[in-house]
Amino acid sequence: MAPQRRGPLRTAEGSGATERRRPSSTKKARELRDTRRAWLKTLGLGASITLALILIWISLGADDGVAEVLARRGEVLEGKFIEVPCSEDYDGHRRFEGCTPRKCGRGVTDVVISREEAEHIRRVAEKGLSLGGSDGGASILDLHSGALSVGKHFVNLYRYFGDKIHTVFSEEDFQLYRDVRRKVQLAIAEAFGISSSLLYLTKPTFFSRINSTEAQTAHDEYWHAHVDKVTYGSFDYTSLLYLSDYLEDFGGGRFVFMEEGANKTVEPRAGRVSFFTSGSENLHRVEKVRWGTRYAITIAFTCNPDHGIEDPTFT
């Protein structure tokens, strides 16, 4: 039988083809691995950022252990009042029937002072504080006593600046201040069921401007929990009128009523009035301001006429 001619071995041809295709396959595999690594890296970075944001959110939300918001910045409250049992702090002071708290609590209203009034009186604060300001994060201006933060100290602005004061403030500024004080006084009297004539303005009553600057003296450390009746024996009813907006003008700076396991917070809103009886039933603090500037007025009232003060006058 004649020998049969055989063609080239297919295995050899196939092997050569495999060798020729290998660089291309290797390149594609490398590109796939690189793409996968880049995707995993991006995923890991995203997860890290998300975790960091969650931790920041938790740390901010956990500040002061706030469990409930009594008044959110975005809502308009006609009047919200929560009654709480009175402490014994008032027993150590002379009692005034019909005025000394027997009904204790805390309230918030957004309809006593308009936003326009709040904006105008904030400009009064800005004009006065432009004359000085603390080196730390908290500055005060007291139109009654004349106390003004300057550097690490206080000066009496009426003595320190003399006649220059008349180029800074106007009679209209002081009249607005008096009008606002009266409206707040009436709101407190109505909420607690007492006669407004039995309430007397008491000291200290002042504007505050707080920013995130590091504290320089003990006067700048506004964030410690305290009781007004213990700190200032004359206080029976405390109020705050906010002149700027939480999360718009500043971050942090919420007002917190301290309660074990269930702190309550008020988010400032321009024109919002927060008020409360001044004893230990309303232990409170202010969160540190993290950015921006927070403006407010603290207005306090006493039932003891001996501790009353007059409204500030321009003359």
* Residues known to be catalytic: 294
DSSP H or E segment with residue 47: helix 10-62
In which region does residue 61 sit, left (phi positive, over 0), alpha (psi from -120 to 50) or beta (all else)?
alpha
Q: Which amino acid, residue 47?
A: A
Tell me the three state secondary structure of residue 221: coil
Alpha-carbon torsion angle 227, 230, 234, 240, nearest 10? -10
Gap between the Cα atoms of 58 and 56, Å rounded: 5
User: What is the rounded distance in angstroms from the CA atom of residue 236 to the CA atom of residue 222?
Assistant: 20
Nearest Cα to Cα of residue 315 among 129, 147, 133, 173:
173
Looking at residue 310, its amino acid is E
Cβ atoms 296, 261 nearer than 8 A: no
The residue count of the chain comes to: 315
Give the E-state strand segments of the chain in sequence order: 66-71, 80-84, 104-109, 133-134, 138-141, 147-151, 153-156, 200-210, 237-242, 250-252, 255-257, 263-266, 273-277, 284-286, 289-292, 294-302
Contact call for residues 226 and 283 (beta carbons, < 8 A): yes
Distance CA 306, CA 222 (A): 28
